[in-house]
A and B are shown apart, each in its own frame.
Chain A
Amino acid sequence: MVNLVIDNVNISVPEGTTILDAARSVNIPVPSLCYLKELNEIGACRVCCVEIKGIERLVTSCNNVVEEGMEIYTNSPKVREARRTNVELILSQHDCFCATCSRSGNCSLQKTANDLGILDIPYKREVPSNLWTKKFPLIKDGGKCIKCMRCIQVCDKVQGINIWDVAGTGSRTTVDVTFNRKIAHSDCVLCGQCITHCPVGALRERDDTQRAFSALADRDKITVVQIAPAVRAAWGESIGLSREKATVKRLVAALRKMGFNYIFDTNFSADLTIMEEGSEFIERIKNRWKNRFPMFTSCCPGWVRFIKSQYPDMVDMLSTAKSPQQMFGAVAKSYYAQLLGVNPDKIFSVSIMPCLAKKQEAAIPVMNDAGSGQDVDLVLTTREIDRMLRAEHICAEELEEEEFDTPLGIGSGAGVIFGATGGVMEAALRTAYYIVCGKNPDPDAFKEVRGISGWKEAKFNLGGTELNVAVVSGLGNTRKLIEEIRKGNKKYDFVEVMACPGGCSGGGGQPIHDGIELGETRGNVLYGLDKKSNIRFSHENPSVIALYKDYMEKPLSEKAHRLLHTNHNAWEMPLSPKTEKFEDDNMIIF
């Protein structure tokens, strides 16, 4: 233990503790901006500087460790002056037009400046200009970027995609796409983790809320909306709802109030995904010699973009099943249009997703199998739907809970856990067991694959067949797993991959809480919903059963293939520079 004094408080902390952590442990909250524990400890903003007795220059508390006998002051005149001045300097180059910022009210810079009581800035304002496409789902505003470098770090260290880097030098140093590329020509997978780790509004999703309002205003359109599993675990966070109040049924009520015609649950199509993907897996296992293993899940579009750009030679190992979002879209504009007895062209299909990559997935040219334009017309993130609720001045807290519409509003507990890492695997195993063994397993029989760990492995016996499965979340973990598979060090039959750490509940489209990772907490909400659910098996979802009976015939039928499966090679994804190097060297060996 190291003994020291912070602001006249004697404390004792373990060796290697940073000054910042030491101070926070005794409720002395040193403000910081760029710092993100274990991810970005680079002392760039100099806001967390403190004074150490006997040392003339100030020291950053985030990345320097305590020493025996230190006497530290977190609010000395020198510190106060430096902290305030450095924030003023940041503000002098920041687009402070907060009224139109997506992060207003949830901005670390705004909070820090407000806390310090900065009312005017003594420096000349020089906001850098920004060249960026308006079309790509990921928007960067150079005028708001404070060069904290967190986006670079999360993309490098957690996701391992290396999209962001420092660009330019000297006073013009900024953050931009690596290798002088434009974002739309890069291998960005659109996981959105850079957004959820940005302390300010420099990174955000493309805002599609106005298109949603236009659709709602259009009397000729029938608006059909689906709510993804993970959204229900997070939507209330940024509008001040407690987890108890922020139920999905209350969100249903809010959406109905907003004017959506039919409100459905992506859990339904998650169950449908299980029927198709589970059946596909069993088919692949039956014909082992024809297929390369493992089979990978295909419901995460960030992951699909990853494998297409990083390991294009492995794309055929993805399940051909569409994601729940796209299955829903295809069903909405075919089966459901038929049920309603309307022209599917009139249906405007919206999805609410914890995700940015879903925006791109819906726009993939071949995702139009129902024949009425794109199967999903518009994708909104959890954050966007929250903005719409605020724009409509809907007091969600006061609303009574309402039920989903039927039949596409019925989902199982197996569907709801799609939103947490391991959930797809668990749901699939529940149904695969049923298909193989002809009876249901204990619904919690496969709970080994739950939990926040980034790389999980398990072995299960399915009617005499030993199955090796793995679950990864976070693309850095994914790359490690794939490299091991490619080297032959690991052999699996089935692998679930989610691009975001913790799965969709930690998705890049979810509400942002600076410095806090909520993937696990939200995931636990979903497991709680599963536990309480009356239906815990996808194959027992009555709407799914009806869909097959009345329309699709059976899993993997010709119709199911046309509407519910896709060809992952039918569209282009920019290759990773690493992959291109492989190809140059003729190194692709598998």
Chain B
Amino acid sequence: MSRLRTITPNRAQSVVEGLYKDMERRIVASPPGLCPVDMSLSFLRLCHAQTCGKCVPCRIGLGQLANMLTDVLDGRADVDVIDLIEKTARVIKNSADCAIGYEAADMVLKGVIGFRDDYIEHIKNNRCTLSLNNPVPCVALCPAGVDIPGYIALVSEGRYEDAVRLIRKDNPFPAACGLICEHPCEARCRRNMIDDSVNIRGLKRFAVDHAGYVPAPPLMECTGKKIAIIGGGPSGLSAAYYLSLMGHKAVVFEKQKNLGGMLRYGIPSYRLPREVLDSDINVILSCGVDVECGVKVGEDISLGEIRRNFDSVYISIGAHTDKKLGIEGEDKRGVISAVEMLRNIGDDNMPDFKGKRIVVVGGGNVAMDVCRSAVRLGASDVTVVYRRRKEDMTALREEVEGAVAEGCEIADLQAPSRIETDDDENAVALWTKPQIIGPIDSSGRPKPLNADSPEKRFECDLIIVAVGQGIESEYFEGQGVPVKKGVISALDSSDVENVSGVFAGGDCVTGPATVIKAIAAGKVAAANIDEYLGYNHIIGCDVDIPSPRLDDRPARGRVNLKELKAGDRKNCFELFEEGMTYEEACEESKRCLRCDHFGYGVFKGGRVRTW
């Protein structure tokens, strides 16, 4: 008899470990619209299977909760049962011995409080409040509703021009989005149930890269209506594009020298080369959009004048002012905002950072754009100071990794407290208060708290603040456009309430958000402006979608895009990401499960051909 043994998993355990992984991926790919009570019951059953069986509340209580939830779902319960579920869950939460029990009960409790309506609907009407409105996860999660399975199928058949045409039905920025879209479509890709999400953005880029010039579709009959678009960013230009296709005249008023908004003045060219952005914009302008750059509404022309001269107005001014840290020394020389720096780069006024030590404050994608640009501008030392943990950063993980690879240091858990200046009022260092990570707040992120450690000093020549952007909404507020907390109030239809004929959307309504959300807002605005003007022009695309391949979809790794070596890319503003090879695009496009055809999509909601 050996005194000790190493632990070797038996076969059953190994298989179960694999199943856990399958389940994790499955939860990732959970489609929107599932019955919350049903999901609660399923989670509860999983939790109950984890119970060791020692303690009463967990061993018996979780099972009784499951029975009651089953009765609710089967329409065999009356409303009183909700109180009993709540009481039982509370007791389990309060008296179970370990987290297996009390956390399981807490999940049920959260549900009883969070979707009580759904419990009641099941009990009273034997029905659920939710339903699967859009069963194709990628399309459901794309704010613009781009026909993703459709264009992936087209890529798979080598029909790249058709793919671009199909994308443009819902999104006139296929080239820009192929490079910088945050791809919410990939988050719940059903392919996760097998292995990993499809690289949708990579395939979009491949289609655009190989399509050549794809002209815009023919314009519909001229209506004689004129629409003013205030702000030539992705949202305004999307609205202008669709309105032009519908036969209206769109005139874009842009404050800056060039069109593109944050795509030009927020995103550095190593992520989005200017010629790529211009290729999208040129197609939009080819539809007869008129542009007046360097015109600021409120100074060069009044909103009143615009409203008098146009049949409708779309406000899409974006979020271009910087937010302040609110610490001592912020107004000194050597402290600049990210917005200011990126705007200069956007107009090709490259600042000289050669040999400079730079501190970037912030943890979002803008902070990453700034620090990575700083490296490219020759800074000798770039440090990102962030008050939470690196993993809490809102920037995409690959952005953070890219920045680190290019030599940026991340100083996390450091809250800026003051800026030290020399006698000439030049910033020379950022002082921070070290933080300790604390309790999870209501948004699910852990809160940083002041740590019991001395202040830290980051010596530097320049401090760049990237802690968020605001909206220049004061002028519009003065003109009677409703504004709440600095943000323009518009309905989800982009109508501005009580101001007839005025619509608004994009960052100036949502606060700083993603480009695809801005594009979607422009699309929504175009449709509703068209209706407002008394029309019902239909935007569609006559590209026929290939029927799906019937072969098996065995598990296969996802094709990730390669990047230029950090050492090479950090010296220039060249596009750092490499597109897929033909071979990779073929394989990756075949990974798509065609949820538009297999599953609920073939029945309802699988394809929106026109809008």
A residues touching B (Cβ–Cβ < 8 Å)?
16, 41-44, 52, 54-57, 59, 63-65, 67, 129, 131, 149, 165-172, 176, 180
Contact B35 A168 (CB under 8 A): yes
Contact A55 B552 (CB under 8 A): yes
Closest B residue to A34 using CB positions: B603
Closest A residue to B126 using CB positions: A131
Which residues of the other chain, B, contact A44 by a CB distance below 8 angstroms?
603
* B73 at the binding interface (Cβ < 8 Å): yes
Besides A64-B548, A167-B131, A168-B127, 18 other A-B contacts (C-beta < 8 A)? A41-B602, A42-B602, A44-B603, A55-B550, A64-B547, A67-B550, A166-B131, A166-B132, A167-B128, A169-B34, A169-B130, A170-B34, A171-B38, A172-B35, A172-B38, A180-B121, A180-B125, A180-B127
CA distance A63 to B596 in the complex (A): 12
- B118-138: which residues lie under 8 A (CB-CB) from chain A? 121, 125-128, 130-132
Contact A52 B550 (CB under 8 A): yes
* B604 at the binding interface (Cβ < 8 Å): yes
Contact A42 B547 (CB under 8 A): no
CA distance A502 to B72 in the complex (A): 45
Closest A residue to B536 using CB positions: A487
19 A/B residue pairs, CB under 8 Å, sorted by A: A41-B602, A43-B602, A44-B603, A52-B550, A56-B552, A57-B552, A59-B550, A63-B597, A131-B126, A165-B131, A166-B131, A167-B127, A168-B128, A169-B131, A171-B38, A172-B74, A176-B127, A180-B125, A180-B127
B128 touches which one: A54, A65, A67, A169 (CB < 8 A)? A169
Contact flags B547-563 to A (C-beta < 8 A → 1, else 0): 11011100000000000
- B455-511: which residues lie under 8 A (CB-CB) from chain A? none
Which residues of the other chain, A, contact B603 by a CB distance below 8 angstroms?
42, 44, 149
Contact B552 A129 (CB under 8 A): no
B residues touching A (Cβ–Cβ < 8 Å)?
33-35, 38, 73-75, 121, 125-128, 130-132, 547-548, 550-552, 597, 602-604
CA distance A67 to B550 in the complex (A): 9
CA distance A54 to B75 in the complex (A): 46
A65 touches which one: B121, B547, B552, B604 (CB < 8 A)? B547
Contact B551 A55 (CB under 8 A): yes
CA distance A221 to B552 in the complex (A): 69
> Shortest beta-carbon distance, A125 to chain B, in Å?
15
Which residues of the other chain, A, contact B550 by a CB distance below 8 angstroms?
52, 55, 59, 64, 67
CA distance A168 to B72 in the complex (A): 13
CA distance A172 to B130 in the complex (A): 13
> Shortest beta-carbon distance, B170 to chain A, in Å?
23
Closest B residue to A177 using CB positions: B127
> Shortest beta-carbon distance, B66 to chain A, in Å?
14
Contact B604 A166 (CB under 8 A): yes
CA distance A65 to B73 in the complex (A): 39
Closest A residue to B598 using CB positions: A43
CA distance A27 to B130 in the complex (A): 44
CA distance A557 to B490 in the complex (A): 60
> DSSP class of B's interface residues: helix, strand, loop or mixed?
loop
> Shortest beta-carbon distance, B46 to chain A, in Å?
15
CA distance A67 to B547 in the complex (A): 10
Which residues of the other chain, B, contact A167 by a CB distance below 8 angstroms?
127-128, 131
Which residues of the other chain, A, contact B126 by a CB distance below 8 angstroms?
131, 168
Which residues of the other chain, B, contact A55 by a CB distance below 8 angstroms?
550-552
Which residues of the other chain, B, contact A180 by a CB distance below 8 angstroms?
121, 125, 127
Which residues of the other chain, A, contact B552 by a CB distance below 8 angstroms?
55-57
> DSSP class of A's interface residues: helix, strand, loop or mixed?
loop
Contact B604 A63 (CB under 8 A): no
Which residues of the other chain, B, contact A59 by a CB distance below 8 angstroms?
550
Closest B residue to A156 using CB positions: B604
Closest B residue to A176 using CB positions: B127
Which residues of the other chain, A, contact B131 by a CB distance below 8 angstroms?
165-167, 169
CA distance A54 to B73 in the complex (A): 42
Contact A170 B38 (CB under 8 A): yes
> Shortest beta-carbon distance, B69 to chain A, in Å?
12
Which residues of the other chain, B, contact A166 by a CB distance below 8 angstroms?
131-132, 604
B73 touches which one: A63, A64, A172 (CB < 8 A)? A172
> Shortest beta-carbon distance, A21 to chain B, in Å?
14
CA distance A446 to B573 in the complex (A): 77
CA distance A169 to B40 in the complex (A): 13
CA distance A172 to B547 in the complex (A): 31
Closest B residue to A56 using CB positions: B552
CA distance A176 to B547 in the complex (A): 31
Which residues of the other chain, A, contact B547 by a CB distance below 8 angstroms?
16, 64-65
Contact A170 B127 (CB under 8 A): no
CA distance A336 to B597 in the complex (A): 61
> Shortest beta-carbon distance, A167 to chain B, in Å?
6
Closest A residue to B130 using CB positions: A169
Given A43-B602, A131-B126, A149-B603, is A169 in contact with B551 using a C-beta cutoff of 8 Å?
no
CA distance A401 to B156 in the complex (A): 67
Which residues of the other chain, B, contact A57 by a CB distance below 8 angstroms?
552
Contact A170 B35 (CB under 8 A): yes
CA distance A277 to B35 in the complex (A): 53
Contact A63 B602 (CB under 8 A): yes
Most B-side CB within 10 Å, residue of A54, A56, A59, A168: A168
> Shortest beta-carbon distance, B460 to chain A, in Å?
55
Contact A169 B602 (CB under 8 A): no
CA distance A64 to B34 in the complex (A): 28
Which residues of the other chain, B, contact A176 by a CB distance below 8 angstroms?
127
Closest B residue to A65 using CB positions: B547
CA distance A63 to B551 in the complex (A): 15
CA distance A43 to B602 in the complex (A): 8
Closest A residue to B132 using CB positions: A169
Which residues of the other chain, A, contact B602 by a CB distance below 8 angstroms?
41-43, 63
> Shortest beta-carbon distance, B68 to chain A, in Å?
16
Which residues of the other chain, A, contact B128 by a CB distance below 8 angstroms?
167-169, 172
Closest B residue to A58 using CB positions: B550
Which residues of the other chain, A, contact B38 by a CB distance below 8 angstroms?
169-172
CA distance A25 to B197 in the complex (A): 40
> Shortest beta-carbon distance, B37 to chain A, in Å?
9
CA distance A64 to B546 in the complex (A): 12
> Shortest beta-carbon distance, B59 to chain A, in Å?
26
Which residues of the other chain, B, contact A131 by a CB distance below 8 angstroms?
126
CA distance A518 to B581 in the complex (A): 56
> Shortest beta-carbon distance, A179 to chain B, in Å?
10
Closest A residue to B550 using CB positions: A59
Most B-side CB within 10 Å, residue of A44, A64, A166, A172: A172
> Shortest beta-carbon distance, B590 to chain A, in Å?
14
> Shortest beta-carbon distance, B40 to chain A, in Å?
12
> Shortest beta-carbon distance, B319 to chain A, in Å?
32
Closest A residue to B604 using CB positions: A166
Which residues of the other chain, A, contact B132 by a CB distance below 8 angstroms?
166, 169
Closest B residue to A142 using CB positions: B126
Which residues of the other chain, B, contact A54 by a CB distance below 8 angstroms?
551
> Shortest beta-carbon distance, B198 to chain A, in Å?
19
CA distance A57 to B121 in the complex (A): 39
CA distance A250 to B603 in the complex (A): 45
CA distance A172 to B132 in the complex (A): 13
> Shortest beta-carbon distance, A507 to chain B, in Å?
27
> Shortest beta-carbon distance, A234 to chain B, in Å?
31
> Shortest beta-carbon distance, B110 to chain A, in Å?
19
> Shortest beta-carbon distance, A151 to chain B, in Å?
13
Kindly list the 3 A-B residue pairs having the minimum CB-CB distance in the complex, ordered from nearest. Answer: A169-B35, A42-B603, A170-B38
> Shortest beta-carbon distance, A177 to chain B, in Å?
10
Closest B residue to A54 using CB positions: B551
Which residues of the other chain, B, contact A67 by a CB distance below 8 angstroms?
550
> Shortest beta-carbon distance, B552 to chain A, in Å?
5
Which residues of the other chain, B, contact A52 by a CB distance below 8 angstroms?
550
Closest A residue to B547 using CB positions: A65
CA distance A4 to B147 in the complex (A): 31
Which residues of the other chain, A, contact B597 by a CB distance below 8 angstroms?
63
CA distance A510 to B131 in the complex (A): 34
CA distance A16 to B551 in the complex (A): 17
Contact B75 A129 (CB under 8 A): yes
Which residues of the other chain, A, contact B73 by a CB distance below 8 angstroms?
172
